[in-house]
Structure 1
Amino acid sequence: MLKTVAAVLIDGLAPFEFGVICEVFGIDRTEEGVPPIEFRVCGAVAGQELQASVGVRMVPEFGLDALDGADLVALPACTIRPEYPPAVLDALRAAHACGATLLSVCSGAFLLAATGLLDGRRCTTHWRHADEFAARFPLAHLDPDVLFVDDGDIVTSAGTASGIDACLHLVRRELGSGPATTIARRMVVAPQRDGGQRQFVDLPVPECTADSLTPVLTWMLESLADDHSVAELARRARMSERTFARRFVAETGTTPHKWLSTQRVFHARRLLEDTTLTVDDVAQRCGFGTAALLRHHFQKIVGVAPNDYRRTFATR
């Protein structure tokens, strides 16, 4: 269960990646049905000012003793350096030994690896730092081609957008799909690429650099049961079909057809978890039309058949 989250900050922290952790775990969303999470911002010394990577300063409220009892300890991206504060490394080792799950976002994996806890473990970090990471930490099993790696009590993620994926995945893993979907909706991101049966994707999706297609993507998510042609989507986006297709790949990393099929599978997964609808009904509600087509895409993306998935993950 995810009741207490501690974010650990050091000099050179990246505010955006820290903000991702705050957005997912630090905002009270109990009025929307998300279970309460105690959020602690920690540094080596409580109240000691830290320099961020972009010319601002932050003051953590708590010291490292606040890691005691935390269910999750999160490390945002930070400036890569030859050495990291020994007190922070010791505190992370102690928290892990006491049962805390550790999460790193982007270059936060370097701080995590410096503890030695990634030795012999699957992990990832931003692709730009993959060669340096592999050279510095040869005992870690680095996979630079995935968005995030869930290795049980240690979760590592690549760039900023995949940090969101990893955080939402942890919410879903620990609290269920309902809270994860609620948080994702408030963040205006799709609750996609989470673990479930498949704890990583084969290739990284390029991070979006613009939000010009956000209204179209939102509309597609709200009308998954409907047919969506590229021509129709291009008209809604007020672009030519060719420009729309090119922009879609640039902003999502995949084609409209593949993106829509994936979102339909994610919706089917939630229906299989939370309802008693037949597979045929689930297929209809998700826009696949037939159970056979649902099974085809579900097996391809999730790795198991819909009924097998339901037996494992359905809400009892």
Structure 2
Amino acid sequence: MRAAVLESFGTALQIRDLPDPSPTSGEVLVRIAASGVNPLDTKIRQGHAAHAGTVLPAVLGLDLAGTVTAVASDVTGFSVGDEVYGMTGGVGGHQGSLAEFASVDHRLLAPRPHTLSTHQSAALPLVVITAWEALVDRARVHPGQSVLIHGGAGGIGHVAIQLALARGAEVYATGSPASQDTIRNLGATPIDYSAESVAEYLETRTGGEGFDVVFDTVGGTTLDDSFTAVKHYTGHVVSALGWGTHSLAPLSFRGASYSGVFALMPLLTGRAREHHGSILRHATELADAGALTPRLDPRTFDLETIAEAYDIVETGRNRGKIAITPTEGPA
């Protein structure tokens, strides 16, 4: 099979011919129709993501959508011809999705949404798993709550808005001036972080009480801001980028709580992989009900144009999630 291989951090991906994989115990073989590109994928290529445990040479690509072409004898629930999606590799020594085929743990997969294209499906796994772990698993978002999402127009943020709305919450989201219409069109109340301080939007949006849930998808000083934007006593801050050095004093003085999300853990440790498959099944139900649609960049890319796709994501010039087609002909 053809695949894009990273041979040295910080260098260009090389197109190579590799042996076709075959499924071992617990695995299915997937012919990959689309590979989603995340900012984390580009950081791994640059050598700026030690937490991903990448072992070189490596086939990168966290997310995929494709068709099952073979099933190990001990796997139930999947059959040849099933259209699936998942976050299945690209870290911890597991082959990624920038290839024509991948043999993956079936627990990481789910039937992909019928209402979405293959490329839209490939754009979802990492971001929807992260948003679900944050808003559902950790914060337990429910009807009547107010939810603030930092970075509402981003890859994780725009999915988190839709998920919080589907959970019955009143949703607010911060973003740049250019992202206000995108946030509004997603159904959230936009907040221009460059025009309003935390104290100002806390007063105008919550009467100074704070938000029930604050989801940080940005990190750095935005996480510090989250600690002062959450409601006293019952508020919950959750972050997908909760590393670095932060003072917990503002959070503690509000009597609120904090959780972190590390969506790569099942891939890296083998723990709770079936939960990722379960999340994606829920995501499929939401998408097929019209409650979840990823923003997709309209440009198309294949293995020969991977460098351009990665450069667009690295420099923030994408107009939605980007997906690459690694196979030729019908999937």
TM range (shorter): under 0.3
TM-score normalised by structure 1 residue count? 0.27
TM-score normalised by structure 2 residue count? 0.26
Give 1 or 2: higher strand fraction. Answer: 2
Give 1 or 2: higher helix fraction. Answer: 1
State the structure with bigger RCO (CA 8 A, min sep 6), 1 or 2.
2
